[in-house]
Each structure stands twice: as structure tokens, then as C-alpha cells.
Homo-oligomer: A and B are copies of this chain.
């Protein structure tokens, strides 16, 4: 079977919902909201999420257990992610900084370990919250 081009029914439903959202969504919040579309069980959500993460359409924000659509054409595969997270308003956005991503992709430590993936999360206060 060739590499999948299109999403399956459940994958599409769940991706559409995440894509429309302005903030990262939690699995059970997604479940609650797509029940009208016929998705009834957590596992149906988690399976779709797993696949969407795998193919890079969405990313998991590990520190929040939440999922966000990829808006970065540079990371069609989800092996190199950088996020900016506001600790006050919980706004999350994907950072698209070529210099930084190159730096990280090329990073080598002294242990001989071979890296094929990384996830970086920056925390702080966004401009709005800082002003308050």
C-alpha cells in the first residue's frame, strides 16, 4: 500500500475540528465535540490523533497533552517541532525559525547518539499578557 495521500473518514473529521480551533485541543474535548459526527469512543479519537501526528498534520504539545494543527510548511513530517507557549493565557504557536531548526537538526552531542527527531517548547509570557 502506498503512502497515504488522503485522510480516512475519522481522521478527516478530527483533523477538520483541530484545524478550525484557535488553541490546542485535548483528546476528550475533541471526542465531546465530534460525537455528533458519529465518533463515540476515546479510542477512535486517539487512533486518529496518532495517525495525524505520525504524518505531521498535527503536533502534540507534550507539556499540555493537547493537539494543534501544523501551520508550518517546513515540517510536513512531525520530527522537528518548536513551540511558543504562554503560561498565562495558554496561547500556543509553532515557531518557524529556520536558523534555530537547522541548528537543532544538525546538533550532535559527544555520546555518538543519532537524533532523528526533537521537540522544543519555550515558555513565557506573550506580548498581551506581559502588558497587563
Q: A121 an interface residue at 8 Å Cβ cutoff?
A: yes
Complex Cα–Cα for A103 and B120 (A)? 13
Q: A62 an interface residue at 8 Å Cβ cutoff?
A: yes
On chain B, the residues within 8 Å of A119 by CB distance are 63, 120-121, 123
Oligomer copy total: 2
Q: Given the interface contacts A84-B111, A95-B109, A109-B97, does A124 sit within 8 Å of B120 by beta carbon?
A: no
Total residues of chain A contacting the partner, CB 8 A: 30
Chain B proximity of A87: nearest CB distance (Å): 8
Q: Can you spell out 28 A-B residue pairs with CB atoms less than 8 angstroms apart?
A: A62-B63, A62-B121, A63-B119, A84-B109, A84-B111, A93-B111, A100-B107, A103-B103, A107-B122, A111-B126, A112-B127, A113-B122, A113-B124, A113-B125, A113-B126, A113-B127, A114-B125, A114-B130, A115-B122, A115-B123, A116-B123, A116-B125, A117-B124, A118-B121, A119-B120, A119-B121, A119-B123, A120-B121
Binding site for B on A (CB under 8 A): 62-63, 84, 86, 93, 95, 97, 100, 103-104, 107, 109, 111-127, 130
